[in-house]
Every structure is written in structure tokens, then in C-alpha cells.
Chain A
Amino acid sequence: MRVAAAVPDAKETLALTGLDLYQQGIQPVWLEVTNLGEQPVRTAVRSVDENYFSPMEVAWKYRKRLSEKGRADMERWFFENQLPRRVPAGETRSGFVFTHLAQGTKGFNFDVYSSESSHNFTFFVPIPGFFADYMDVDFQSMYEDGDIVRVDTAGLREALKAVPCCSLNASGDSLGDPLNVVIVGTALAVRRSLLRAQWQETALNAPETTVARTHRFLGRPPDGTFLKSRPDGSERKELRLWLAPLLVNDSRVLIGQVSYEMAGASGVKAYENHRMDPDVDNARDFLMQNFWYSQSLGALASVGGVPRSSISAPLRNFAGAEYFTDGQRVVLFVSENPVAMDQTDILPWRAVLTD
């Protein structure tokens, strides 16, 4: 199976369709599938964007101010240029999927499946004019070879004991939020799972990540901060990740913190003074489920490492924000390929998330 992808930017889309689709929040993704196998395959359009626009739905948005013929021609163009659902053996098919506009890198999964088999592809197509925070990080030369410790899964459990409880402030003398997440996986698996679970990347030095960037671990702000907003409100979840100098077999280890953030004062800068939901375990438990339900979780474990605290006597981070936690960190072993929920291994490291 071979898949090629391209994402036209706003100008190219205008040139291609004569319509300003970006203005309507629609971003076309062009895909070409070459079926080198012996079975016909099906393309899963929904894997690209679970709320994708159907071709005729896009046409409907532009129906006004067109002659009857103009409208009919436009409808036909969208109909004929959609990505076909079926690719016969030995053939190539191509077309567009109409997705929701993403600011920044257009990252998407694309699944092709046939009877009892599937192929899963992930694409990251940079869009001019956007630079994500993690793109500014040189992951390759971040650590000297000699600084990287290679462990097996059991060794990871021991190694995580050395991870400090929390991030630090810039001067390194006051504790920040608890480091309550460990993600283990190849770079591809991590990116795929974040996409499947619908986390959005953030731009370098974006105002939304002002607070995130005050948190330091390993002497630096997060290598990547990802957001997941509520569909029906202003609250959002925030995931900050740092690459650790650890390798588990060939998988990377990311250490991070996840929390719910609630807007402070209303207004355009609401997120610059947002507040963390003190019940940080709830965000951690959500993240675990989020990955589990999106078929990304090969295995799951939990380790201690954060001081236990209670709602009656919460701890405070360096900015004075309260939090309390049962002290557990969730360890998510993410998979490149989809994992059905009942196939996820729950590692008996200790009682997982006991409360």
C-alpha cells in the first residue's frame, strides 16, 4: 500500500476550486492510494477527520450567488474529486477529503482497510506560516549518546523513581505542577496517539502556553505543549511533555504533566490567567481513557513519585495554584497500530490509580 498526501494552502485552494474554503474553516487534504496488494481495499475517510465535511456539504455552503449551471458544475466538481472509498487491487485512486481547518502543521491519520487487515498512515504536512513549539526543539542532539540510559520495561519502573515530583520555576528553587504522566513509545506512536486522541499542537511562544512555559523540567520549558478544548465551553486540558534521556527498548520516554485549565477572567486574554483544576488526578485519568478509547494504548501502568496530598490540605505550585493528588503517575505505552480496548495490557507494577 502506498499513500501520498498533500495539503493545499489557502491560496492554492482558491486557485484549485475558485472558492475560499479556508475562510469557511474547510481545509482540503489530497490523498492518493496505490493498492499494491491483491485485495480491494477501503479508505476510511473518517480517519482523517472524524467530523469531515462531505463533498456536497461543501458545495452547499457556496450555493448562493451562482447560476443554476454554475452551481451544478460546482457540485459535480466536488462529487467527482472526492477521495473514493474503494481502491481495487493493483490500482491507484486519488481525491480530496474536506477537513476542518487546523492552524499549524496539518497532522492526520489515514487508515486503509480490507477484510481483517488494515494499514495505518500518519502525515504531518507543514503549512506555511505556522511554527509549532516542538519544531524549535532539536530532539536529535538534545542528549549526548552517553547520557541516554537504555532500559527494559522493568528497568523503566526503577528509572522513573528518580524522576522528581514536579516541574520547577525558572530560577529552579520552587516546585511547579506534579509530573503525573509518562508516555512511552516511538516518535511515530506518540504523534499518532496524540492525533487519534485529538490533541492540538501549539505555536511556538503562543499566548495560550504562557503559563506552561513557566514550568521547567530538565532545565527547560516543555518540549511540546498540547491542548484539547471542550466542544461546548471554555475549559480545556493541557498536556506538557519533555523528552527524557531514557530509552525503553527502542521507544522514547516522555515525561509530562496534564491538567484541566479553566479560564480566569473572561476576555481575549482569558487563558493567560487561567486556573488549574486542583484535582489533577482527574486530568490524568482522563488522558488514560482518552488514549485507551482511541485505540492507542498497548499497555498501562502506574507508579508513585509525587507526594500524596488531599483536598483538605492541598499543595501549591510556585504560582500559588492549589492541587492535590494520590501521588500516582500514569505510564502510557502507546502503540503505532490500533489496539482494541480489551487488548491493552495492565501492568501489575502496583495497584493502578488506586483511588
Chain B
Amino acid sequence: MIRTIPNPLARLPRLFPPVRRMLLVGAFLSLALPVSAQQDGGLDRGRIPPPNERVQETLIRDVRVTTAVPSAAETQAIFGANLYASNIQPVWIQVENLSEENLFFLPVGLDPAYFTPIETGYRRENRILNLNSSANRNIYDSSMRLRVEAGDIRSGYVFSRVDEGTKSFNVDVFGDDGRHYLMTFFVPVPGLRIDHYNVDWANLYSEDEIREVDRDGLVDALQSLACCTTDKSGEDHGDPLNIAVVGDLKDVYYAFMRAGWDETETIYRTSLLKTLGSALTGNEYRYSPVSALYVFGRAQDVALQKARADIHQRNHLRLWMAPIRYQGLPVWIGQISRDIGVRFTWRTITTHKIDPDVDETREYLVEDLAYAQSLAGLGYVTGVGAAPYDQPRGNLTGDPYFTDGLRVVLFLSDEPVNISEIQVFDLGSRPD
């Protein structure tokens, strides 16, 4: 039985054992060292200039975020070290808080495995640097902190894992009152291969090609799209188009990035692969973009991949913007596959063996977006055409697959949604 006592403070001296002189020592130190971290070292830690002029800016209501990504050479110049070689890519962030609330900038949203400043120095040298060496202080003093007070501007670096080509990342800012500012940036980095798909979104379709549909119209439209991707000639059928996504381009990128999907590989994974002894595969990973599949007579508009635990294990997905709008939002059709191994085809090149149970992969995506808090709702339509387990169809590389023939429709949210809030719509079909 636990007693409730009126004044817990009266008992506090007994709560925790006495620490004798240590608290006094602590108190003394805190008096002796009144210097705050910002003033320390003569640098204004919260105000770090951008590394270059390739800055990108987004304003959401009363919060302005500006970002820039230094190239490998610029990083060398700023930090005196080739951080890229250690799989570290600094990202410069500036948060301008024009609101009356204090804000948190959350670097986990940018990279869930970001490096601490001192870890950055450790990685670079493979030993822990002297805390106050200039190399260490240079990194530490320029790091971005989490807190941005009302009316303040803070800038600094987040040390993320390297992305080749375009650096794409989310910036999440949360206010004390629960307000949130979720942004996505695409920053090209010179000196690395650019593989961002340069789609001219504005001219993809003419205005009269695009149909605005209601719920029933959406179901009809999605069900009448092609079952599968094709090759360039449009003749041979490839992987089934088993996903549809409703959301703005920025919501699509935000959601998938939040769920850990990347546009590109990282140098680190590639070099690891190389050390495993497959130059052929290594080159493929590092330099070959994802192969082109075709819908609407063109290659994918968006290609993303997500690495799992093993290097060979990754999921690929491709999306095409359809000439359909639902509640003013673009509708995308797409394909997802799970690599389960590498196999050698008759062409003697390595190809990824895909999981023939494409419905399983489809359901994985539903959950992946749900746990990224990005899924407002889902439902199912037909359109793929069933292929039973015993009568599988084949894709362009000869991988067999079987499916219930359904396409999942994923309605993205630009607000965080927890799993209890996801709506399951009846769009006329559902898996067994």
C-alpha cells in the first residue's frame, strides 16, 4: 500500500541517499563555470554562415527554414577534413522563428542516425579527438542545436549520412504548442552524380488531359489503368502496378523519406559492398540508376529505394503521376518490389530476385507509411488482374509473381497520423 502524503518535499532528504561532499563540489563547479555554451570560445554558436550560395528556403506560416549542403570539397575547406570519406555529409540548416512559440528543430527527421559532432571527429580520425583541439571545436561549435526561441534565428550543421547526387531530406520543426512545420528539401550537390529525376511537373499533362474525379470516379479511373509496367516499346508486360498514391509531390516525398526511403544509395553502403568483393555489383549499386519501367509511355517519374538489414535486401518502388486529380491532389500509380537476393541470369549479369509474393510487399508498404505517421487512409481497387500462386505471371526479367489482383490506394497526410487514426475505406474490393 502506498501512502499519499501531503508534502512530498518533507520526505525528500530520505528519498535519495546522501552524496556527501559531491553535491557541494557540483555546486561549486556550477558557480565557478557560469559561462554558457553559446558564449564559450568566443564564437556565436547559434549563427553559422551558409557554406555556399546554393541555399534553399521554405516558409511555412511563421517559420522560415533555409538549407544548404556543402560538397565534398567545400566540406574539406570548412572542416579541414574529408568527412564524405567517412560517410558524413554536413547539412547546413537555419531556422528563423517568427512565431511567438519556442520551437524544436528535430534532426532525427533529417537523418534518424545522424552523427553527433564529437562522433563526427571520431569517425574522421578513428580516435577521439582532444575535446578542445581546433578540429574538434570547429565541428562542435558549428553544429545545429535543437532549440529556437520565439523571434530567434539559429543556424548550424547537422552531420548526416552521405547521399549521392541530390541530397533530399526532411526538416521537422515542432512548437511547444504542438504546431508543426514539416518540410522537404532537395539540394543538388556538385561533384557527385545527379540522378534526381528532372521531371517537368508543370508540363507533364495539359490542363484538358487532367480529370478531376470524385470517390467513385477515382475507383473507376484507377481500375481502368494498365495492369502492369511495360518495356520501352510498350509491348512486354513487367511488374504489376499494385499501388496508387493520392497526395502532392511534396507529401509523397515527405512520407516516403520519413519512412526511410531514399532516392539514392549512400557511398558508405557502396564501399562496404565493394569490400565484400563484388566490383561488378558494387559498380551497379553506385552508378546505375534504377532500371526504367514504363507507364503512360514514359519511364517512372519517381524512383525510391529502401535498404533493409542486408545489402542485397532492399525494396524498390516507382511512381508515375496519372492524369487524375482527387480532391485537388495528384494521383499516382506505381509498382513496388522486394529484392530477396541476387541471382545470375542467362545474360550473366546480376539481377535482383524479387519476392514473388508481391501482395506481401504491397502490405509492407501500407505499414511502412503507417508507422511513418503519414497515412490518412487506405482502400483497395482491382486493376492488376489476379494471378494465383500456382499460375504465376512473369515480369520483364523473368521473375515470377502471384497476386490477388488488387491495387492498394494510399491517401497520404501532411499532418502526423497515428495508427489509431488511419481510415480504412471500402472502395469496392478488399483482400481475403
Chain A residues, CB < 8 A from B20: 172-173
Whether the Cβ atoms of B3 and A145 lie closer than 8 Å is yes
Chain A residues, CB < 8 A from B269: 232
Whether the Cβ atoms of A159 and B8 lie closer than 8 Å is yes
The answer to whether the Cβ of A60 comes within 8 Å of any Cβ in the partner chain is: yes
Whether the Cβ atoms of A311 and B338 lie closer than 8 Å is no
Chain A residues, CB < 8 A from B422: 113, 115-116, 118
Residues of A283-337 at the interface with B, using a CB-CB cut-off of 8 Å, are 283, 285-286, 289-290, 292-293, 295, 306-315, 322, 324, 326-327, 337
Residues of B397-432 at the interface with A, using a CB-CB cut-off of 8 Å, are 415-425, 430-432
Report how far A279 CA is from B140 CA in the complex, Å: 9
State whether A164 and B3 are in contact (beta carbons under 8 Å apart), knowing that A56-B356, A315-B29, A340-B373 are contacts in the complex: no
1/0 contact string of A144-157 vs chain B (CB within 8 Å): 01111111000100
Whether the Cβ atoms of B41 and A312 lie closer than 8 Å is yes
Task: Identify whether the interface residues of A are mostly helix, strand, loop, or mixed.
Answer: mixed
Whether the Cβ atoms of B341 and A310 lie closer than 8 Å is no
Report how far A98 CA is from B371 CA in the complex, Å: 19
Chain A residues, CB < 8 A from B123: 233
Nearest chain A CB to B349's CB is how many angstroms away?
A: 19
State whether A348 and B8 are in contact (beta carbons under 8 Å apart), knowing that A54-B364, A60-B341, A289-B106 are contacts in the complex: no
Report how far A100 CA is from B309 CA in the complex, Å: 9
Contact of A114 among B14, B361, B373, B424 (CB under 8 A): B424
Nearest chain B CB to A89's CB is how many angstroms away?
A: 13
The answer to whether the Cβ of B107 comes within 8 Å of any Cβ in the partner chain is: yes
Whether the Cβ atoms of A46 and B420 lie closer than 8 Å is no
State whether A351 and B147 are in contact (beta carbons under 8 Å apart), knowing that A115-B423, A278-B118, A286-B108 are contacts in the complex: yes
Whether the Cβ atoms of A175 and B368 lie closer than 8 Å is no
The answer to whether the Cβ of B117 comes within 8 Å of any Cβ in the partner chain is: yes
Nearest chain A CB to B375's CB is how many angstroms away?
A: 10
Measured CB to CB, the nearest residue on chain A to B46 is A355
Please tell me which stretch of B174-182, B194-202, B233-241, B290-298 contacts chain A, meaning at least 4 of its Cβ atoms lie within 8 angstroms of it: B174-182
Report how far A245 CA is from B15 CA in the complex, Å: 7
Chain A residues, CB < 8 A from B118: 260, 277-279, 282
The answer to whether the Cβ of A222 comes within 8 Å of any Cβ in the partner chain is: no
Measured CB to CB, the nearest residue on chain A to B107 is A289
Whether the Cβ atoms of A175 and B37 lie closer than 8 Å is no
Contact of A275 among B3, B27, B128 (CB under 8 A): B128
Whether the Cβ atoms of B132 and A145 lie closer than 8 Å is no
Contact of A353 among B27, B29, B117, B147 (CB under 8 A): B147
State whether A260 and B119 are in contact (beta carbons under 8 Å apart), knowing that A46-B368, A164-B22 are contacts in the complex: yes
Nearest chain A CB to B27's CB is how many angstroms away?
A: 7
Report how far A293 CA is from B258 CA in the complex, Å: 10
Report how far A326 CA is from B415 CA in the complex, Å: 32
Report how far A138 CA is from B139 CA in the complex, Å: 45
State whether A218 and B128 are in contact (beta carbons under 8 Å apart), knowing that A293-B112, A355-B36 are contacts in the complex: no
Chain B residues, CB < 8 A from A313: 33, 35
Report how far A308 CA is from B40 CA in the complex, Å: 12
Report how far A310 CA is from B131 CA in the complex, Å: 11
Whether the Cβ atoms of B33 and A308 lie closer than 8 Å is yes
Residues of B232-273 at the interface with A, using a CB-CB cut-off of 8 Å, are 268-269, 272
Chain B residues, CB < 8 A from A18: none
Report how far A292 CA is from B117 CA in the complex, Å: 22
Chain B residues, CB < 8 A from A147: 14
Interface residues of B (CB under 8 A from A): 1-5, 8-9, 11-17, 19-20, 22-23, 25-27, 29-30, 33-38, 40-41, 87, 102, 104, 106-109, 112-113, 116-119, 122-123, 128, 131-132, 137, 140, 145-147, 149, 161, 174, 176-180, 268-269, 272, 308-309, 313, 338, 340-341, 353, 355-357, 360-361, 363-364, 367-368, 370-371, 373, 389, 415-425, 430-432
Interface residues of A (CB under 8 A from B): 40, 42, 44-47, 50-51, 54-57, 60-61, 76, 79, 82, 85-86, 100, 111, 113-118, 145-151, 155, 158-159, 161-166, 168, 172-175, 218-219, 230-233, 235, 244-247, 260, 262, 275, 277-279, 282-283, 285-286, 289-290, 292-293, 295, 306-315, 322, 324, 326-327, 337-346, 348, 351-355
Q: 13 A-B pairs, CB-CB below 8 angstroms?
A: A54-B338, A56-B340, A111-B419, A146-B3, A150-B2, A165-B22, A232-B87, A235-B119, A277-B118, A279-B117, A285-B146, A292-B108, A293-B112
A-B residue pairs, 8 tightest by C-beta: A46-B367, A307-B30, A115-B424, A162-B12, A289-B108, A340-B418, A57-B340, A118-B420
